[in-house]
């Protein structure tokens, strides 16, 4: 079960861990979601929180049938390292 929630009002996926908020902001244009930036508190870095956040976000994106534009360097690097998500990228068919 994922603790990642889509905060549509703020256009970001969120994960609260140890009282700290990590989030990945996005913009949606039609069927494409563009991840613009990801923020993980320094207190949580190196604990896999960013990866958990992105997996939860990408799982939701897949279930919604959207394509991903990874403008955020963290999201782009995560997808590049995990081929199981590369089919979500815009232009990947």
What are the φ/ψ torsions at residue 68 (nearest 5 degrees)? Answer: -110, 135
Residue 91 lies in a domain: no
Q: What one-character DSSP code corresponds to residue 65?
A: T
Residue 66 lies in a domain: yes
Residue 85 lies in a domain: no
Q: Which of 33, 2, 34 is nearest to 15 (CA)?
A: 2
Number of structural domains in the chain: 1
Domain that holds residue 12: 5-71
Q: Which residues contact 77 (CB under 8 A, 6 or more apart)?
A: none
Residue 93 lies in a domain: no
Which CATH number goes with the domain that contains 45?
Answer: 3.40.630.30
Residue 84 lies in a domain: no
**What distance in Å separates the CA atoms of residue 44 and residue 63, rounded to the nearest whole number?**
27
For the chain, 93 residues long, the average pLDDT of each consecutive 10-residue run is 88 95 97 97 91 97 97 97 96 69
Q: What is the pLDDT, as a whole number, of residue 1?
A: 40
Alpha-carbon dihedral angle through residues 14, 19, 20, 23, given to the nearest 10 degrees: 0
Residue 46 lies in a domain: yes
């Amino acid at each position: 079960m994922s603790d990642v929630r889509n905060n549509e009002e703020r256009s970001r996926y969120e994960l609260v861990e140890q009282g700290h908020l990590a989030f990945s902001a996005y913009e949606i244009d039609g069927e494409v979601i563009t991840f613009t930036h990801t923020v993980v508190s320094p207190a949580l870095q190196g604990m896999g929180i960013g990866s958990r956040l992105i997996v939860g976000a990408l799982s939701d994106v897949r279930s919604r049938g959207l394509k991903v534009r990874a403008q955020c360097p963290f999201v782009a690097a995560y997808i590049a390292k995990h081929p199981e998500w590369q089919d979500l990228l815009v232009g990947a068919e």
